[in-house]
A and B are shown apart, each in its own frame.
Chain A
Amino acid sequence: LQIFEYNGSAVVAMVGKNCFAIASDRRLGVQLQTIATDFQRISKIHDRVFIALSGLATDVQTLYQRLVFRHKLYQLREERDMKPETFASLVSAILYEKRFGPYLCQPVIAGLGEDDKPFICTMDSIGAKELAKDFVVSGTASESLYGACEAMYKPDMEAEELFETISQALLSSVDRDCLSGWGGHVYVVTPTEIKERILKGRMD
């Protein structure tokens, strides 16, 4: 029993020109059986920071609730939203607190920082941050996703082209994974708007 492959997931985030895109699959399964095809893996922390969690679904939901709580406290105390870099450090600290009994999930964080500069990072389940300038991936389909993103990514893409690229990378990768897929969920965030789209994918 591979615990990270119990529910199945696929998450990817990409950087564009003053924008970012974050995408996930929609399947929730119990090993090979599919239970739901509308599972929410991507969550908004505030208008400029999104987090997507892959891994064990119960930890995905609990960790998300804890992070929203911590961010709301921060907003009350500081009277402003968290910067994405700060939020990533917060997530890393919360994960390392459980070093000897970890949350079994791998987050992908994406946000717009100062001067609308996009920021993405991913972490392992105990909080090791990995910053990247182009794309980050996570989940059971991560190896396929690395390959697809490496091939399709170009720097400084505009929002529409970025959406096309990330969608194609996600769909073609999950089509090679038994445990993820069944549709896609993409958020493309620019300084002025958030566009949420559901992808029509193979349902097998």
Chain B
Amino acid sequence: MKLDTSGFETSMPTIGFGSSNDMLDGFSTVPSFDLPRTTDFDGFQKEAVQMVKPAKGTTTLAFIFKEGVMVAADSRASMGGYISSQSVKKIIEINPYMLGTMAGGAADCQFWHRNLGIKCRLHELANKRRISVSGASKLLANMLYSYRGMGLSVGTMIAGWDETGPGLYYVDNEGGRLKGDRFSVGSGSPYAYGVLDSGYKFDMSVEEASELARRSIYHATFRDGASGGVASVYHVGPNGWKKLSGDDVGELHYHYYPVPPSTAEQVMEEAAAE
């Protein structure tokens, strides 16, 4: 059986002296595809693919409204396809009036948030007044920037209430820091944004806002495989944060979409009639 070597041909002529062209005589007549100019055929695209891969398997969101800041997150930790935990605390209490959300590496987020809490307390002691949300997020962003490129994975939102009112910042492991009114971070964020953006109004009551946050997390857990568990909702007001609810999304699904009892009986009748 003659081996099919058409894959080895290139449209590039061999560089070098004319005498080496006779090596190609048996091969060059069949049309062929361009080979990439690299020695590592199997792995050269890996880096580009890894860059766009959704690394942060989670859904967290936060938004500012009339009564303060609403922060919500799911509670699933996944390692590839395996669910390692359904009860991870992704909303981290930095101090009684500031919250941070966790997306990315759990160890990274927990450590750096605790570190930020320490720095905020030191600031309070040194300056005899609380640190602003802007200041706290800047401290975290600068710390993460100095570790840029070393493989930290942190996609967090710092939410709090300071002298200027409610504050919300997004900070990530690249050292980026953005001020905003609505953020969602993680692999489930596109689904959460869809529900959050269409239902958002600045003039909402605390109950309406918490229901919106809960529903956004629920919809993200339904569609995204890497989000699930419990939807926790926190509210940050002028007197600090307060946990409003922690509902299991498995039960939340049947609360939003109850199964009408008749359909199940219908299915059993059809099967029994076979």
Contacts and interface: CB of A to CB of B under 8 A. Distances in A.
B267 A198 contact: yes
A32 B82 contact: no
Interface string A1-24: 100010010000000000000000
Contacts of B81: 5, 8, 140, 177-179
Q: Is the interface of A mostly helix, strand, loop or mixed?
A: loop
Task: Provide the main secondary structure of the chain B interface.
Answer: mixed
Contact of B271 (A1, A195, A201, A202): A195
29 contacts: A8-B225, A29-B225, A33-B223, A33-B224, A33-B225, A34-B223, A175-B83, A176-B82, A176-B83, A177-B81, A177-B83, A178-B57, A178-B76, A178-B78, A178-B83, A179-B81, A193-B274, A194-B271, A195-B272, A197-B271, A198-B267, A200-B254, A202-B249, A202-B250, A203-B221, A203-B249, A204-B74, A204-B222, A204-B249
Contacts of A196: 267-268, 270-271
Contacts of A29: 225
Most A C-beta atoms less than 10 A away, residue of B83, B86, B271: B83
A178 B225 contact: yes
A102 B14 CA distance: 36
A176 B85 CA distance: 8
B232 interface: no
Interface of B: 49, 54, 57, 74, 76, 78, 81-83, 86, 187, 221-229, 249-250, 253-254, 259, 264, 267-268, 270-272, 274
Interface in A162-204: 175-179, 193-198, 200-204
A183 to B, nearest CB: 10
Contacts of B270: 196
Contacts, number: 78
Contacts of A175: 83, 86
Contacts of B224: 32-34
A32 B187 contact: yes
B272 A204 contact: no
A18 B24 CA distance: 67
Contacts of A197: 267-268, 271
A29 B224 CA distance: 9
B132 to A, nearest CB: 37
Interface centre among A33, A196, A204 (most CB of B within 10 A): A204
Given A202-B250, A203-B253, A195 B268 contact: yes
A100 to B, nearest CB: 12
Interface string A42-57: 0000010000000000
Nearest to A196: B271
User: Considering residues A34, A177, A178, which has the most beta carbons from chain B within 10 angstroms of its beta carbon?
Assistant: A178
A29 B222 CA distance: 11
Given A32-B57, A196-B271, 19 more contacts: A8-B81, A29-B225, A34-B222, A34-B225, A47-B274, A140-B81, A175-B83, A176-B83, A178-B82, A178-B226, A179-B225, A193-B271, A194-B271, A194-B274, A195-B272, A196-B268, A197-B271, A203-B253, A204-B227
A186 to B, nearest CB: 11
